[in-house]
Structure 1
């Protein structure tokens, strides 16, 4: 995993391309993924966006996450592959289990399964689901999925009974596939701390995020003695001006490298253990920005 106590690890959100009305540029994104792997980034994050709409803030036509992850598994060697996040109530848990085990096998155990509830009523309607049922659906689907991904790979039917006459293959690679909650998933923090290996949330100003961290620690204290990681996504516009001060933008920041080092250092001190960069640096190729992060920022924080 990429969650470690008192440490900060770094991920890249894919696709790393201009936020315009366009489909994923597969060759470009696989090149970026390989570059991130060689530079020593810790994770690549892939989103699950079943449908596009003019009302959505992100116009990119995202690829099917499982197809994309299969390509990423063969294009990389060391970096973790994570979903941020599979919309659990809109997909059957046994299908997710099959896909997860396949990606884990293809990537030789590098897969991290991030799961969310989704929050778009119109999308639920298109899939014949009631958005008001997402809390209960998330919990029951999580239970069946977790059972299929544990060492005995139990197959549970709709009634909650283990069906020994069925099996899911391929076999589990290693001891487990980490399951991470992304966003609130319509659950309490106590539920997330009890069931998930970690919690990935959205960017907030650090003063606000510190309050979330306090709530997260309190929730863990109530339900578990095991370590549970905390991470966040972050829109980043890294300027080609090292001394540019940090300025907050929607869901992230615009800054030079020194401002980013100071900001990330404060995040680490607050207890954030992973940051997934959503690169939007205008006029700078994603690979150039990643080079600067790897050469000047990651060493300063490790």
Structure 2
């Protein structure tokens, strides 16, 4: 059975999705937010609560799984700070992944990224190992040192020592806490395979340390030229370990609409999207997570179009099943 790292990079390049699956950053979404009295950046959770009726959240996650997207990525934002303008997704990250593991079958489940210095290390290990076990080995554990000073004193943590804390927690995650516990004690479930560790940024470390100790990179969104430079720097210290990033996508209904860049991504028809993803691949990116909060079209329709018309250009296992449209 292939590992989650092998599955992520199978074929050399893959496409996933960054949650939440919500398009609340559109003009229509902003109007709904104001109507509902929600704070800026907080997604609409009304339909997500109806678990007994297969909430929109579950349906879209299952659709992404069925359509062949390679991974679902979940951000870890412990506290909502309006000054950042983005609540990301609001659920506790490991609880959320446990839910997603139960409603999906094949798609990888990634964190982008767990802020290690804010968390109790042994419980982080237990949570990650639990998700790895319950999901059948689908976890991709993205980690970071955090960049929001306001959070640290609220959790009783020291902001200035977060780099040293990060290194200590990586060591604990790597050996399953065996060298950190008295004889006879252990953290269960014990991971059957090593937890795959991706890093967001440098986490207060040197590039050389990151390249040696981490399994993959979660890079900030950028253009193909941005990624060409960043991927080269990553390769210099990490070799062939995966380099991944994200795009905030607004997929136009007209397949011929040219690409128009916006912050963190672009609006484009599917032909321009294919060209952009191909350029990302050529730049050294091995996985892209698509973020849809700016997307103006219905998300189920958008996912279906990308699955039938875009994924076959990049996922070898979908080419023979693709539905091609004459343009």
Please give the TM-score of this superposition, normalised by the length of structure 1. 0.89
Q: Within 2, Cα distance between the matches of 1:22 and 1:247?
A: 25
1:256 aligned onto 2:275: no
1:86 aligned onto 2:104: no
1:155 aligned onto 2:178: yes
How many residues are matched?
287
Q: Secondary structure at the match of 1:131?
A: coil
Unaligned runs of 5+ in 2: 26-40, 50-54, 316-327
* Contact map agreement 2:173 2:195 (CA 8 A) in 1: no
For 2:319, the equivalent position in structure 1 comes to: none
String of CA shifts for 1:241-294, please: whole Å, max 9, x gaps: 111111211111111101100010011111100001111244312221111111
For 1:122, the equivalent position in structure 2 comes to: 150
* Contact map agreement 2:152 2:158 (CA 8 A) in 1: yes
Deviation at 1:39, TM superposition (A): 0.3
1:274 aligned onto 2:287: yes
* Contact map agreement 2:163 2:204 (CA 8 A) in 1: yes
Deviation at 1:60, TM superposition (A): 5.2
Q: Secondary structure at the match of 1:241?
A: coil
Runs of 4+ in structure 1 over 6 Å off:
none
* Contact map agreement 1:6 1:269 (CA 8 A) in 2: no
For 1:76, the equivalent position in structure 2 comes to: 104
1:203 aligned onto 2:221: yes
Q: Within 1, Cα distance between the matches of 2:99 and 2:233?
A: 38
String of CA shifts for 1:18-43, please: whole Å, max 9, x gaps: 24434543522221111011001110
For 2:190, the equivalent position in structure 1 comes to: 171
* Contact map agreement 1:6 1:268 (CA 8 A) in 2: no
Q: Within 2, Cα distance between the matches of 1:59 and 1:119?
A: 15
Q: Indicate the RMSD between aligned Cα atoms, in angstroms.
A: 1.8
Q: Secondary structure at the match of 1:121?
A: coil
Q: Secondary structure at the match of 1:292?
A: helix
Cα 1:37–1:61 change in 2 (3 A) is closer
For 2:61, the equivalent position in structure 1 comes to: 33
Q: Within 1, Cα distance between the matches of 2:212 and 2:10?
A: 18
- Given the alignment, which residue of 21, 45, 50 partners 2:42? 21
For 1:299, the equivalent position in structure 2 comes to: 312
* Contact map agreement 1:52 1:61 (CA 8 A) in 2: no
* Contact map agreement 2:211 2:238 (CA 8 A) in 1: yes
Deviation at 1:206, TM superposition (A): 1.7
Deviation at 1:179, TM superposition (A): 1.1
1:283 aligned onto 2:296: yes
Unaligned runs of 5+ in 1: 149-153, 222-226
Q: Within 2, Cα distance between the matches of 1:233 and 1:22?
A: 19
1:230 aligned onto 2:243: yes
Q: Within 2, Cα distance between the matches of 1:109 and 1:251?
A: 30
Alignment of 1:44-123 (within 5 A): 44-59=72-87, 62-123=90-151
